[in-house]
Amino acid sequence: MIAESTFTPKDLSRIRERTQEIEKAVLDNLIVFPGRKIPIPIAGACYPGIWMEHNQDWLFLADLAPESAWEAVELFLEKQKENGLFPVCVLTDGRAFYRQVQQIWPFARCAFEIAKKLGKGERELRAVYHASVSFDSWLGEYRDHKKLGLVEMFCEFDTGHDNSPRVRDGGLPRNVLSGAETMPDLPVLPILAPDLSAMRYQARIALSEIAALLGEEKDSLFWQEQAQFTLTSIRKYLYDPEDDFYYDVDSSGTFRKYRTEHLTRLYLNGAVDQPEFERQYKRYFENPQEFCTPYPFPSVSVSDPSFVKTLPNNCWGGNTQALTALRATMWLPRYGRSDEKDRLLKRWMRAFLDYESPLHQELNPFDGAPIGEGVHYMPSLFLFRQAAELLLK
């Protein structure tokens, strides 16, 4: 299990003192973009814009600044290309980029959950539905050459795993300058990616639910069937029974055996059932030789030969990432591990207090020391807010 943390009355007093500061930092990360009136949530730290891979941030923001959370959805709807591709990010000067996928929790699910939370109507739901159908078509045309219902990875940034050995092996470029539609001419490509495929699975589940809510029963059944097709392919082509792990598969059909936190993204997207989760969680996430470090979860298993021991800045080759932890607070309760969610939040709070952290993006998985220089990273702010609510209740 994740290590328990203790807090003194002095610690609790310090948390109370910082709570207002943290809430202000969240609001300071809301920026008015060119041509818009409502401020939009940026990622914070050193990221001068809004990123699709941070869409779960918008859901956490919906309780504090609902108009800004929905404005983020509207921005990506507006910036979607005619062929269906969403931008990976939109900078504060209004420029949008389309060089990689970098969508981990699907836009369809994110927008649908925010719409329900805010009581949006049919017009908004239909806009989300049609945009998400268009994106699924884009994936089918450009990132599913074998028509397996899976998603292919072309570059390092497709999964947002910056500087991870998982996405650098084989000479992969950082991104695709000519656009995410273009597959680089490399022997290992295309690579079937389990986390991107799990994202597509969950997007199709969301599409089925939205269609049902809109009274489109045939469409709802169609997307349910398409989701099952993707899930069956994930299990058939990407699962290694020996390791009880899901791996990338290269163009030759060979597993690329990197044990990275990408497995947690299958949990985030509900692509693993309860019995399988229990086996994997015990084997990998309750094991100090894998992902159960003092400050979990490292981005690569500590016993994987590719683990980057130097723990440099912005490295998904070993560092414990706030983005992973924030997503974990979403899937741990779903799999019956609410106690682990509480322990995880307390570990992050312990690190924030011990190092007087200005809420960096990543931690040293062994001692909790902050890594890098960027401050007020949005996922870290939401981890603090959740932990404070837990400890001060």
Please report, in tens digits, the pLDDT of each residue of the chain (393 residues total).
999 999 999 999 999 999 999 999 999 999 999 999 999 999 999 899 999 999 999 999 999 999 999 999 999 999 999 999 999 999 999 999 999 999 999 999 999 999 999 999 999 999 999 999 999 999 999 999 999 999 999 999 999 999 999 999 999 999 999 999 999 999 999 999 999 999 999 999 999 999 999 999 999 999 999 999 999 999 999 999 999 999 999 999 999 999 999 999 999 999 999 999 999 999 999 999 999 999 999 999 999 999 999 999 999 999 999 999 999 999 999 999 999 999 999 999 999 999 998 999 999 999 999 998 889 999 999 999 999 999 998
Residue-wise pLDDT tens digits, 231-253? 999 999 999 999 999 999 999 99
Q: For position 357, what pLDDT does the model report?
A: 86
DSSP 260: B
CB-count burial class (<10 Å; 0-12, 13-18, 19+) for 74: middle
Strand order in the sheet with 362-363: 320-321, 362-363, 370-371
Q: For position 393, what pLDDT does the model report?
A: 86
Is residue 109 domain-resident?
A: yes
- How many domains would you assign to the chain? 1
Is residue 30 domain-resident?
A: no
Is residue 94 domain-resident?
A: yes
Length of the chain, please? 393
SS3 of residue 270 by DSSP: coil
Asked if the bond preceding 297 is cis, omega within 30° of 0, the reply is: yes
Is residue 317 domain-resident?
A: no
Q: What is the CATH number of the domain that holds 263?
A: 1.50.10.10
Is residue 166 domain-resident?
A: yes
Q: For position 29, what pLDDT does the model report?
A: 97
| Token pair belonging to 43 | 């990622």
Is residue 188 domain-resident?
A: yes
Whole-angstrom distance, CA of residue 161 vs CA of residue 236: 24
Is residue 167 domain-resident?
A: yes
Residue-wise pLDDT tens digits, 270-317? 999 999 999 999 999 999 999 999 999 999 999 999 999 999 999 999
Is residue 372 domain-resident?
A: no
Q: For position 374, what pLDDT does the model report?
A: 85
Domain that holds residue 264: 51-272
Maximal CA-CA distance, the chain: 59
Backbone angles phi, psi at 109, to 5 degrees: -70, -45
